[in-house]
Amino acid sequence: MTDDMNELIAAVGPGDAGRLVGMEDAVWVRIGERRERARMGQVRVAAVALALVIGVANGGLMLMAPRAEPSEMRIFTVSAGLSPLSGLDVRG
């Protein structure tokens, strides 16, 4: 089916209206498809916005949560500075 209405109408002769029989139905089908795509676009935008709000809220709650006290086991962590390479400023 051609997309240009002017080409389609110009291609039809004065007595040859048979080629235009299904045109109205085809136009309404395409209008329905475009409306459905627009709705799906709105649903996608709403889903992204909701995910963003949930992420921001979760991050805000994590900032407000009390931090755990350092454990006595922290001497075994990499950041304790007890590595033989810590004096050489080598990070692993």
Q: What is the pLDDT of residue 88?
A: 65
CA distances from 37 to 49, 50, 83 (A): 18, 20, 59
Residue 41 lies inside a defined structural domain of this protein: yes
Q: What is the pLDDT of residue 78?
A: 62
Residue 47 lies inside a defined structural domain of this protein: yes
pLDDT of 50 > 90? The answer is yes
Residue 12 lies inside a defined structural domain of this protein: no
Residue 5 lies inside a defined structural domain of this protein: no
Looking at the structure of the chain, the number of domains it has is 1
Residue 32 lies inside a defined structural domain of this protein: yes
For a pLDDT cut of 70, what percent of the chain falls above it? 62
Residue 91 lies inside a defined structural domain of this protein: no
Residue 55 lies inside a defined structural domain of this protein: yes
In terms of residue numbers, what domain contains 49?
22-65
Residue 54 lies inside a defined structural domain of this protein: yes
Model-level pTM? 0.46
Among 14-18, 43-47, 54-58, 66-70, which is the least confidently predicted range? 14-18
